[in-house]
Amino acid sequence: MEKERRDRKVHPMLGAGTLIWGSAMSMRFESDGGSTLRFDWARLDVGTPDYVKRSKRKKDLKRTEEEERWMTIETTKGEVLAFRAEDAPPEPMPQAAPQQLALI
């Protein structure tokens, strides 16, 4: 059995946690606050969702140092998720209300 890869990341709504790479295309994000977000990925990109969108139109678009810290994931359901490397977020992450988490 292959060992799961674990990366410390920050989700804009769930805050800091661990992004866990499971078998095949299965992933989950376990926030330090106790929430778990499970998904299957279809596409992974380096950069913010905005950068990824702009880079599709302009192929030679350079990433900034901040964009290098972000990973954008498109799920098999078409949802777009973004995670930032845990090293010093640029600003405090907002706390999500329980009803907001149900929408994720």
Q: Are 67 and 51 in contact (CB under 8 A)?
A: yes
Q: Quote the tokens at residue 104.
A: 């994720």
Region for 90 from its dihedrals, namely left if φ exceeds 0, alpha if ψ lies in -120 to 50, beta otherwise: alpha
Residue type present at position 72 = T
* pLDDT, averaged across the chain: 85
Query: Taking the model in full, what pTM does it have?
Result: 0.77
Average pLDDT over residues 24-34: 93
pLDDT at 95: 53
